[in-house]
Structure 1
């Protein structure tokens, strides 16, 4: 797990202190924050490091398949079961079982899981004999398990048993000081895959884009963005100058709207005509507060430009011919920022 931020260091210290304690652990964090890496750290820093670390993604299997994978089955347990199958709990005996996306597990399987965690015993599907195992369970999810337990969608007794301690992994937006180091790490790896002799680094604008993004997909999203941007840049001799965050954005969507075609100026009004007397060239509306009118017009232009560019401030600034700092100042002036404030 890469980074030097205080929040990441705190999480890693928590994992290191918890690793030798032979109790179940919950790892909570948003998608892409490194929950599987945390489970690996818990395992390899524990006395079980030389035994098996077995991983299961609970969301990737149907209920019946997940049950047979976790607990195994005897021959004849169901149609097609022609041989003995050792489940993940048996294969993890003496080691660690990592249950990812635990919040998707059905209530029926949660009941069977509770018995294994509580007593270390289970039966294979179609079997009659209890099997004893010594397995440390590390479970991970991005779901709100206390809320699911309160609504009856997750067993409260299982939650109590699994939460001997809870490791919280910070999202990337809360540890922005790690973004540059992570981006460089992924850039070096992708450069090697592309056959480049050296990673050329990021240009100032590209790095500013990386630092400005909120990264809802966290480290996984950052890795994809960096690798995509390098391959599209395609120049091993110059620092990466453009970051491609959204591959679904149409290339023409970033182009500023074309200004309206200018027609020839209207002929000058003859003295004494109605247009000349009104002084507004046929526009019947009058501006009573010039400053307020210009502020409203400025805000409207900003709102429309930000919408065209998916609220991306740097692209909007480029489209409007402004510097990034100028646009940020205008966004603050008109209270248009959507960035979540802590």
Structure 2
């Protein structure tokens, strides 16, 4: 069953509009997006809005199989085609006949498999592994990746001719940090769903500080990461009737970790001691230099993670971002 696609930001609605138009066109489609942006959900929408909606939608993650196995899984194999092949096996193309085939993590597929995919797109035919009978394929191909395929093609790591055939049109999914209007909407959706799952009577909401934290976080894992953060916060909050205040963005981070203590100690003191100052000075210039030096040092210690750098300095994320903007330290962003 297709899951809901939730959002109201212009970037998100533009994608949905494009998907609706592409669904009716019998061409391969390429979906590009960072991890956790919902590439499989978009593939489902493409299928169920198409004329193939009542036919199979078959999926395969290309990154989960070795070269030999992905070949067999896609195109099937005949009995005795290789060691352990005791019977005929129907591949994903055969099982998706008349419908759609969704290939996730396409960039990880071997070049030999890419060559066979190209043949299916161009001629609508393929052979099972170990067989010599041509099989016809009436299948719409929907592919997805988070890799830079044009760059891979230029380096010979991905077939340029296959990329040309897949790129009839490309659906570019915006990362969550470019869908700020959707963050709180999604957060509430996942919170309410989690409350129902664990038997809480109602959702107490998020405090203003928690909302600000959600809106200012970078979300490298996008919607999938947001879902984890919200569900974790709801179950940890439990039966409390006050709004959720605490959000744990990184469950692997602990306060007593020695590296964190060392980093805090290292950023405590500016490099230039006051005893070495020669007066008169321009106070504003001196203060700006100190701030810039401290911000730069904190970012280096935090490996350029702004949220961690803010924690090292005892600042909120908003305060830290304000200082970055104040001194125009875009090279630290």
Match of 2:136 among 129, 132, 154: 132
Q: Which residue of 2 aligns with 1:332?
A: 325
Report the equivalent of 1:53: 57
Q: Displacement of 1:333 after TM fit?
A: 2.9
Alpha-carbon spacing, 1:295–1:58, altered in 2? closer, same or farther (3 Å): same
Distance 1:251 1:125 in 2: 54
User: Larger deviation: 222-231 or 325-334?
Assistant: 325-334
Alignment-derived partner of residue 21 in structure 1: 25
Aligned-partner Cα distance in 1 for 2:58–2:317: 48
Alpha-carbon shift at residue 336 of structure 1 (Å): 4.3
C-alpha distance in 1 between matches for 2:205 and 2:54: 39
Q: Does the aligned pair in 2 maintain the 1:198–1:236 contact within 8 Å?
A: no
Deviation at 1:161, TM superposition (A): 1.5
Aligned partner of 2:121 in structure 1 is: 117
Contact 1:191 1:197 in 2 (8 A): yes
Q: Which residue of 1 aligns with 2:166?
A: 162
* TM-score for both structures, normalised by structure 2: 0.86
Separation in structure 1 between the aligned mates of residue 54 and residue 90 of structure 2, nearest angstrom: 20
Cα displacement (A) at 1:233: 2.7
- Residue pair 1:306, 1:312 contacting (<8 A) in 2 also: no
User: Residue 119 of structure 1: CA displacement?
Assistant: 1.3
SS in 2 for 1:14: helix
1:267 is aligned to none
After superposition, where does 1:147-186 map in structure 2 within 5 Å?
Answer: 147-186=151-190
Q: 1:210 to 1:325 in 2, by over 3 A?
A: closer
Deviation at 1:311, TM superposition (A): 2.3
Deviation at 1:6? Answer: 0.8
Please give the alpha-carbon distance, in whole angstroms, between the structure 1 residues aligned to 2:50 and 2:197: 34
Matched, 1:5 2:9: yes
2:306 and 2:317 in contact (8 A); partners too? no
Once the two structures are overlaid, the 10-residue window that deviates more, 72-81 or 86-95, is: 72-81
Deviation at 1:324, TM superposition (A): 6.8
CA offsets per residue over residues 37-84 of structure 1, 9 Å max, x none?
A: 110000000111011000000011111010110011111111111111
Secondary structure class of the residue paired with 2:204: coil
In structure 2, the partner of 1:199 is 203
**244-253 or 301-310, which deviates more:** 301-310
With 228-237 and 90-99 compared, the bigger mean Cα shift is at 228-237
Given that 1:305 and 1:316 are in contact with CA atoms closer than 8 Å, whether structure 2 keeps it comes out as: no
Equivalent residues in 2 for 1:308-323, closer than 5 Å: 310-312=305-307, 316=311, 319=314
Name 1:42's counterpart in structure 2. Answer: 46
Q: Match of 2:50, SS?
A: coil
Q: In terms of mean alpha carbon deviation, does 142-151 or 174-183 score higher?
A: 142-151
Q: What SS does the corresponding residue of 1:244 show, helix, strand or coil?
A: coil
Q: CA–CA distance in 1 between the matches of 2:241 and 2:165?
A: 55
Deviation at 1:18, TM superposition (A): 0.8
SS of 1:54's partner is strand
Q: Which structure has the larger Rg?
A: 1
**Would you say the 8 A contact 1:313–1:328 is kept in 2?**
no
Listed as ranges, the gaps of 5+ residues in structure 2 are: 269-273
1:104 matched to which residue of 2?
Answer: 108
1:182 Cα deviation after fit:
0.7
> Would the alpha carbon gap of residues 84 and 141 (structure 1) be closer, same or farther in structure 2, given more than 3 Å must change?
same
| Superposed CA RMSD | 2.8
The 1:119/1:197 distance shift into structure 2, 3 A limit, reads: same
Q: Between 89-98 and 304-313, report the one with greater CA deviation.
A: 304-313
Question: 1:200 deviation in Å?
Answer: 1.2
Classify 1:327/1:77 alpha carbon distance in 2 versus 1 (closer, same or farther; 3 Å). Answer: closer
State the shift of 1:228 in Å: 1.8
Q: Higher mean Cα deviation, 180-189 or 306-315?
A: 306-315
CA distance in 2, matches of 1:24, 1:74: 27
Shift of 1:21: 1.1
